[in-house]
Structure 1
Amino acid sequence: MSLNEHDLSQLRAALQDAVVKCSERCLYQSAKWAAELLDAIPATSHDAPQLNDPGADHMPAVFSPNPDPDEARLEAQEFSKYLLAKSFFDCREFDRCAAVFLPDSILSGIIEPNQDAPGGTPNNKGNTKAGTVPLGAPSSSLPVMSQKSLFLALYAKFMSGEKRKDEDSEMIMGPQDLGTVVNKQLLPVSRVLNRWFEERTTEDGEVVGSQGWLEYLYGMVLAKEKNEEKAMDYFIRSVHVFPMNWGCWLEMTSLISRIEDLNRISRHLPQNIVSYIFHVHTSLELHQQGPGLANSLDQLLGIFPSSSFLLTCNALLSYHAKDLVAAEQLFSRLLSLHPHRLDSLDHYSNILYVMEYRPKLAFLAHLCSTIDKFRPESCIVIGNYYSLLSMHEKAVQYFRRALTLDRTCLSAWTLMGHEFVELKNTHAAIESYRRAVDVNRRDYRAWYGLGQTYEVLEMHTYSLWYYKKAAGLRPWDAKMWVAVGSCLQRMGRNQEAIKALKRALLADAYYEGGDSFDSGDILGNRGPTGHMDPEVLFQIATMYNDLGNLGEAKAYMELCVAQEEGDLVDPSGGLGGSVAVHKDSPAGSDDGNGEERERTMREGTGVTASTSRARMWLARYAMDSGDYATANRLATELTQDGFDVEEAKALVREARSRMHEEGQLPSP
């Protein structure tokens, strides 16, 4: 993707316009996003100021008045009151801000208290006729004001309700913290907006003169009321009118739970660069990764090379692909470019925690504390540091602090659940994970955590349900399918467990191949094309053994042992049909002559407990089958592994004794 000078100029003007308009409506996060993106566009020779240019001191075009003459006239008349209202909003006096344009006396008439539902269902109790206003009541018509002033007043009312909701909520994870407190201002804001749209909607469904901001606010209210389908409709309307409001795109992302939903909605969106960024961002939120997404990010970074937002997306792409080394390097570079930026550093701290980079995590915690210790991201980073030190009570304290600052902080809920698991407080862990799922149903870590916690409680039916939810969100993650398979095995459902564990082997191949994997049977006509988890192979072999299918059990036991050196089992040998993990190449392709493949197949896991147990099983199987030479060889190898040495020595003596009896060895 490349833009010429004219396209870059238009993009720069659109982002400038977005910064100004979002700031005017107190949408500060959207304004910050647009300003950062604007600053990331490289300057050209045409952008350099000319000292002799007589127009150099002119006001930029973004400060021009509203192109709609009626709206421009209303904004000019309300300018003094608008400045007063905005100053109140900036000081977080939300009720005073709303009262500038919508005093309670006017608002009560608009809301029509004789109706008890946002949809306008009349209340027929009493002598008052349905849908009418009692005598002496204030007028129910909307006051004449500009859309900008109406948005600011209603948004202030919405924020007032959110602030009061946080104040009325109990202490995080306290005895009365049920997460059931709601925003009491949703009802009046919803009714005012509903009335506004009713008055301006034509028979064709178009809203006359709309600027897109009120659609965005109405969509937020509907989303809070769990009317997600209608909310998505209003968000789509909003981005068609004003596509540079990034907050609206983020609200749409929060309503999308599957990649199929994203592809369906994308057909109804405007085709512009912000829509392109939205698609990339939402794909990452859905934990997607692949060459197509990486290519899209590279194209966007070609236009905005220093964008902190896109660099974060690039680091998260590596994180989702389990390339922790690359993700850590990308976050480290991002931190060096933007050392005072705290956004998404909680993800960076998760990476450092998993990699056990304690000095770097300590430095990051100190840096965040120095910049702003009362940001949720800072509290999460410090909590991760204490967790790495196994100081789990202190970690919980900082995750609670993050949630006190922002109750919708997903990472804090999930990580606090992990800490409660470490503290053996299963009840609190389950509640933390449930609250994480309430915030974001796409969080596979919370679903997986619920499965783990119920597994500790030996409630396998519940555990299986939650594991399946996690696997549905991360179908290419082997860890999810191993959990499903192990749970099914404990429930005695071995056939289903085998299918799940084979899916885990396929998922490992997905990450090794960097592309989608075949969903067919794992038994194919080729040898194994790379490393597989010996523990999973041993589990599959054990279940085949329990089912009485000794041929399949032997095949998987041999493959488990083969993982030690990365050696291939001869496809014409004892496997019968050797295990093949389907990768990028089709089943019949000849991919056996590449250096990369040879290098991969020479890699091994070394001796593990699983491979030793598999070798012991094979040795006993050989004894039962009368193949005493093989049993002797395998048992002799076991005496050198350090696992079950005494049992292996006994097996060697028994095998040699049988070989002496049959004359395969000379008598001592």
Structure 2
Amino acid sequence: MEEDDIVDGDFYLLAKSYFDCREYRRAAHVLRDQNGKKSVFLRSYALYLAGEKRKEEEMIELEGPLGKSDIVNGELVSLERELSTLRKNGTIDPFGLYLYGLVLKDKGSKSLALTVLVESVNSYPWNWSAWSELQSLCTTVDVLNSLKLNNHWMKDFFLASAYQELRKHSESLKQYEYLKGTFVFSNYIQAQIAKAQYNLREFEQVEAIFEELLRNDPYRVEDMDMYSNVLYAKECYSALSYLAHRVFITDKYRPESCCIIGNYYSLKGQHEKAVVYFRRALKLNRNYLSAWTLMGHEYVEMKNTPAAIEAYRHAVDINPCDYRAWYGLGQAYEMMSMPLYALYYFKKSVFLQPNDSRLWIAMAKCYETEQLHMTEEAMKCYKRAVNCNDREAIALHQLAKLNSELGRSEEAAYYYKKDLERMEAEDREGPNMVETLLYLAQYYRQQKRFEESEIYCTRLLDYTGPEKETAKSLLRGMRIEQAGGPSMDVEHFPP
């Protein structure tokens, strides 16, 4: 311990007591004449938090608890001046560097903030708060790769988390799998692996991980909102009900708990109640991104488009990289029959999440609207959706239909056949199956490939409706033609 810190001891302990009681200005006042590094940091940090507290109060007074505001922390200028001097004199410790980086970031000096925070984590790598602030400044992979960081296991945690925020989910998953080899029993790493797999839409694995987490830690609330999203997507009513009851009993005043309960009511179709809980989550944490996005989804379900747009805009203000909020904005403007605006937001979402087939399909449907009728652009989007493993099995069928409408019979037959193969593999039935079989039967009939046409006609005989009669007529015509008689014209869809 340094001599200054020993001299400051009694003052420091008193100030720390005030700090723990959230009396930040009293804590700073007690340390006004103390020069030890610990005392300087605590005084500066107390002033910073006092400024943040006053900023929050002013925002509530002027704009309401959920509103926007341009109010800034009034302590930033004096803190920057003092910490900059200490850094130049070489009398600042890693924690002081962390606070200096935080102040620079809040003031918008991002380049210098990056440099200062790198100095902090290289000097003392165990301060995760410094790593977190550094991560928030790494807005691109190039910025991340440019950092000159010392090798340390904390750097591995930082890279895994940064890759996740930069939507490099496969890289993030590899990094966490590597860390799991060292930290075998870490629930945190397990939860982060689940998060990476959730973003890769591997829901079965995610569900298994969260079930294991709850067995090991039955009172866990952290990250459970993500688990509720998986249960919602899979429509697991009973499991989501059980999870909502569990977090309500454990801690009902956590933003995660409110979101889980909101998801439960949303799945039940009680959208008004869901909005109540998402709003409650935002009162607990106004920057809770999931709540803004999920609330936007509820307003879309309630056909309250202006409220949905407002919620989604709050979400993208908090995190411009949230593709779900951009997608939601696209949906909202599509509902308002404003396809050009919708396209703009769909393009934003697909730029952030290029491997999600749902986004490409949404954009394709927008191109298909009567106002735009941009069929070629729609087809390009559907092709991208197919390449992204279209789980909803929409893109192949739409590509077949659009090619058919454009008179491209060969391309249409190709996509209809691909769609048929997929339906058979997934054991799906329905109108698409009948339409596909009928088109292929007629296409091969026109191509004089009677054996292949007969296969599809025969399968159509198992269905009821006009398609069955068309199949019978096709079979009769082909048999007459094969027997050497005149060909028969049969009503059919244009190939």
Does the alignment pair 1:279 with 2:183?
Answer: no
Deviation at 1:482, TM superposition (A): 2.0
Deviation at 1:234, TM superposition (A): 2.3
Map 1:628-667 → 2, pairs under 5 A: 634-641=456-463, 645-646=465-466, 648-656=467-475, 658-659=477-478, 662=481, 664=483
Map 1:244-643 → 2, pairs under 5 A: 244-265=126-147, 268-290=148-170, 293-490=172-369, 491-508=372-389, 534-565=393-424, 603-622=425-444, 634-641=456-463
- Secondary structure (helix, strand or coil) at the match of 2:92 reads coil
Q: 1:547 to 1:606 in 2, by over 3 A?
A: same
| Larger helix proportion of the pair | 2
User: Quick one: which amino acid aligns to residue 135 of structure 2?
Assistant: T
- Secondary structure (helix, strand or coil) at the match of 2:181 reads helix
**Cα distance per residue 1:499-521 (max 9 Å; x no partner):** 22222222229xxxxxxxxxxxx
Deviation at 1:622, TM superposition (A): 4.6
Deviation at 1:536, TM superposition (A): 0.8
User: Using the alignment, how far apart are the partners of 1:271 and 1:333 within structure 2?
Assistant: 32
User: Quick one: which amino acid aligns to residue 300 of structure 1?
Assistant: L
**Cα distance per residue 1:189-222 (max 9 Å; x no partner):** 3333234313542xxxxx6133122222232233
Q: 1:626 to 1:154 in 2, by over 3 A?
A: same
Whether the 8 Å contact between 1:447 and 1:466 is mirrored in structure 2 is yes
User: Using the alignment, how far apart are the partners of 2:458 and 2:110 within structure 1?
Assistant: 65
Deviation at 1:629, TM superposition (A): 6.9
Deviation at 1:320, TM superposition (A): 2.4
User: Using the alignment, how far apart are the partners of 2:243 and 2:392 within structure 1?
Assistant: 34
Higher relative contact order (CA 8 A, sep 6+): 1
User: Quick one: which amino acid aligns to residue 557 of structure 1?
Assistant: Y
- Secondary structure (helix, strand or coil) at the match of 1:508 reads coil
Whether the 8 Å contact between 2:363 and 2:378 is mirrored in structure 1 is yes
How many residues matched?
484
- Secondary structure (helix, strand or coil) at the match of 2:169 reads coil
Comparing 631-640 with 467-476, which one deviates more in the overlay?
631-640
Whether the 8 Å contact between 1:382 and 1:395 is mirrored in structure 2 is yes
Aligned counterpart, 1:161 = 51
Deviation at 1:272, TM superposition (A): 0.6
Q: 1:333 to 1:306 in 2, by over 3 A?
A: same
User: Using the alignment, how far apart are the partners of 1:637 and 1:487 within structure 2?
Assistant: 34
Aligned counterpart, 2:77 = 190
Whether the 8 Å contact between 1:629 and 1:659 is mirrored in structure 2 is no
Whether the 8 Å contact between 2:8 and 2:34 is mirrored in structure 1 is no
Between structure 1 and structure 2, the one with the greater Rg is: 1
User: Quick one: which amino acid aligns to residue 405 of structure 1?
Assistant: L
Deviation at 1:453, TM superposition (A): 1.5
**Cα distance per residue 1:55-74 (max 9 Å; x no partner):** xxxxxxxxxx2xxxxxx222
Deviation at 1:624, TM superposition (A): 5.5
TM-score normalised to structure 2 length: 0.88
User: Using the alignment, how far apart are the partners of 1:625 and 1:161 within structure 2?
Assistant: 78
Aligned partner (choices 71, 77, 86) of residue 7 of structure 2: 77
User: Using the alignment, how far apart are the partners of 1:312 and 1:660 within structure 2?
Assistant: 64
Sequence identity (%): 36
User: Using the alignment, how far apart are the partners of 1:169 and 1:665 within structure 2?
Assistant: 87
Whether the 8 Å contact between 1:222 and 1:231 is mirrored in structure 2 is yes
Q: 1:533 to 1:431 in 2, by over 3 A?
A: closer
User: Quick one: which amino acid aligns to residue 182 of structure 1?
Assistant: I
Q: 1:249 to 1:199 in 2, by over 3 A?
A: closer
Whether the 8 Å contact between 1:484 and 1:500 is mirrored in structure 2 is yes
User: Quick one: which amino acid aligns to residue 154 of structure 1?
Assistant: S
Aligned counterpart, 1:579 = none
Deviation at 1:366, TM superposition (A): 2.3
- Secondary structure (helix, strand or coil) at the match of 2:411 reads helix
User: Using the alignment, how far apart are the partners of 2:63 and 2:276 within structure 1?
Assistant: 11
User: Quick one: which amino acid aligns to residue 123 of structure 2?
Assistant: V
Deviation at 1:653, TM superposition (A): 4.9
User: Using the alignment, how far apart are the partners of 1:220 and 1:459 within structure 2?
Assistant: 41
Aligned counterpart, 1:216 = 98
Whether the 8 Å contact between 1:215 and 1:237 is mirrored in structure 2 is yes
Deviation at 1:276, TM superposition (A): 0.7
Whether the 8 Å contact between 2:101 and 2:117 is mirrored in structure 1 is yes
Deviation at 1:382, TM superposition (A): 1.6
Aligned counterpart, 1:95 = 25
User: Using the alignment, how far apart are the partners of 2:15 and 2:179 within structure 1?
Assistant: 38
User: Quick one: which amino acid aligns to residue 614 of structure 1?
Assistant: T
Deviation at 1:415, TM superposition (A): 1.1
**Cα distance per residue 1:440-462 (max 9 Å; x no partner):** 12222112111221121222222
Whether the 8 Å contact between 2:228 and 2:240 is mirrored in structure 1 is yes
User: Quick one: which amino acid aligns to residue 342 of structure 2?
Assistant: S
- Secondary structure (helix, strand or coil) at the match of 1:564 reads helix
Aligned counterpart, 1:180 = 69
Deviation at 1:269, TM superposition (A): 1.6
Deviation at 1:239, TM superposition (A): 1.0
Q: 1:217 to 1:358 in 2, by over 3 A?
A: same
- Secondary structure (helix, strand or coil) at the match of 2:35 reads coil
Deviation at 1:408, TM superposition (A): 1.2
Q: 1:336 to 1:562 in 2, by over 3 A?
A: closer
**Cα distance per residue 1:208-244 (max 9 Å; x no partner):** 1331222222322333334433332222222122211
Whether the 8 Å contact between 1:172 and 1:404 is mirrored in structure 2 is no
User: Using the alignment, how far apart are the partners of 1:322 and 1:172 within structure 2?
Assistant: 41
Whether the 8 Å contact between 1:190 and 1:218 is mirrored in structure 2 is no
TM-score normalised to structure 1 length: 0.67
Aligned partner (choices 16, 41, 50) of residue 151 of structure 1: 41
